[in-house]
Chain A
Amino acid sequence: MHPVRRQRLFMVIFIVVIASIAVGLLSFALRENINLFYPPSDIVSGEAPKGVRIRAGGMVVDGSVVRADDSLLTHFQITDGEAQVNVQYTGILPDLFAEGEAAVVTGELNDEGMFMASEVLAKHDENYTPPEVAEAMQEAHNRAKTKDVDAESAKAQTSKY
């Protein structure tokens, strides 16, 4: 390679490396602000600020969704597997909002630790399945569960004797 070209090649590599370092440092310094939402464990531990608009994200806890009969008021809990946050929301929920699915809520934490949401977004996962396959998977899952229960109860019965 010609020395002049080699020098220019090093210049190009230099530009790319320096730019990467700069952007790397920048995103490291701003890492908290780049996150779209706080997980429930951060909110429960008090790391999330109170009285300002923040977002919280997590899975909607199974069986936690309670809808009011006479209004659009909804209560539910979101979890990240470690902690749970109670959310209160008045309004129309997105179609994909469901128990066991992820959701991102925007709002404020009040003093009782209740998250007063003004917006609820459903978060979709990266899995795509046709309805029949999803049904079959659900059935298989349920069957495995009942089998486990059967096995356990059988064990309990045998241990009785």
Chain B
Amino acid sequence: MSQLFSWKWFHRLGSPRWFYQTSGKWLPWLSMLATGLLLVGLCWGLAFAPQDAKQGNSFRIIYIHVPASFLALAGYYVMAIAGAIGLIWKMKLADMVMKSAAPIGAVLTFVALVTGAIWGKPTWGTYWVWDARITSMLVLLFLYLGVIALQYSYSSQDAASKASAVLSLVGMVNIPIIYKSVDWWYTLHQPATIKFTEAPSMHPDMFQPLLVMILGFYCFYAVALILNTRVEVLCRERRTRWVQELVASKCT
């Protein structure tokens, strides 16, 4: 296999220095794209999209709730896959990405839970109910918090990475459960509006701003992850010559 397929690019990808330099070039463009998409999506969704026939204006929280939930789930895959790469290839950069992804995912999950509760009160009549979707989402929050806690509970970074990679891999089981919970069990939470196989059960005038917001959240997630990882790179590589040169050049 090694003759057919060159692993060289993959190993170069694992160089923290290469990542720091490349991501520095991408970051301004990506941040601009994220800001633009989020601004357009928010204005469009909150001010111009028509209100819902049954819920009125309270449905507009969907423009935060759904993108945040999307990225909370997708971010878990990012974290778990980075953890797996770190375990298998002992790639330093993958461990750093895993550590950086955990707090972002935890915040997004928290946002999804809180916006859901705020929407639930006027719509359902309650802030919280222990149904399968909401409970599995709470478990996701605890998984993220567990990974963060494990990162800080070992004196050796290697041991911490290994432990949190195993935890994130085990927790990966939860992601399809969250996604399918509304179909498998009776829940108060409604089934998904956006489906991969069918057209969304939402009017296009309401769906288009949602799509912009989801794209914006993806870009925002990328920006947040890159920024977090860059800090982690500098922190862990602080004894290397290139970081010291970089710091020296910034200080003068």
Interface residues of A (CB under 8 A from B): 1, 5, 8-9, 11-12, 15-16, 19-20, 23, 27, 31, 34-39, 57, 93-97, 101, 104, 119-135
Interface residue count on the B side (C-beta < 8 Å): 44
Report yes or no: B51 in contact with A19, Cβ–Cβ below 8 A.
Answer: no
Report yes or no: A126 in contact with B193, Cβ–Cβ below 8 A.
Answer: yes
21 A-B contacts, Cβ less than 8 Å apart? A8-B88, A12-B84, A19-B172, A19-B173, A31-B185, A34-B185, A36-B130, A36-B185, A36-B187, A104-B129, A121-B124, A122-B124, A124-B123, A124-B124, A125-B190, A126-B190, A126-B193, A128-B62, A128-B203, A130-B51, A130-B52
Report yes or no: B87 in contact with A130, Cβ–Cβ below 8 A.
Answer: no
Given that A16-B173, A127-B202, A132-B50 are contacting pairs, would A122 and B125 also be in contact in the complex, using a CB cutoff of 8 Å? yes
Please give me the residue from chain A that is nearest to B166 by CB atom.
Answer: A15
Which B residues lie within 8 Å of A38 (CB)? 186
Q: Which of A15, A23, A31, A95 contacts B169 (CB 8 A)?
A: A15
Report yes or no: B169 in contact with A9, Cβ–Cβ below 8 A.
Answer: no
Given that A5-B88, A36-B132, A39-B186 are contacting pairs, would A95 and B173 also be in contact in the complex, using a CB cutoff of 8 Å? no
Interface of A is mostly: mixed
Which of the candidate stretches B18-26, B53-61, B97-105, B219-227 sits at the interface with the other chain? B53-61
Give B80-103 as 1s and 0s: 1 = Cβ < 8 Å from A's Cβ atoms: 000010011100000000000000
Which B residues lie within 8 Å of A128 (CB)? 52, 59, 62, 193, 201-203, 206
Q: Which of B62, B169, B177 contacts A12 (CB 8 A)?
A: B169
Please give me the residue from chain A that is nearest to B195 by CB atom.
Answer: A126
Cα distance, A96 to B126, chains bound together (Å): 12
B109 nearest CB across to chain A (Å): 18
Cα distance, A16 to B123, chains bound together (Å): 37
Report yes or no: B53 in contact with A34, Cβ–Cβ below 8 A.
Answer: no
Which A residues lie within 8 Å of B190 (CB)? 123-126
A126 nearest CB across to chain B (Å): 5
Which chain B residues (178-201) contact chain A, with CB distance < 8 Å? 185-188, 190-193, 201
Please give me the residue from chain B that is nearest to A95 by CB atom.
Answer: B122
Q: Which of A37, A94, A119, A130 contacts B206 (CB 8 A)?
A: A130
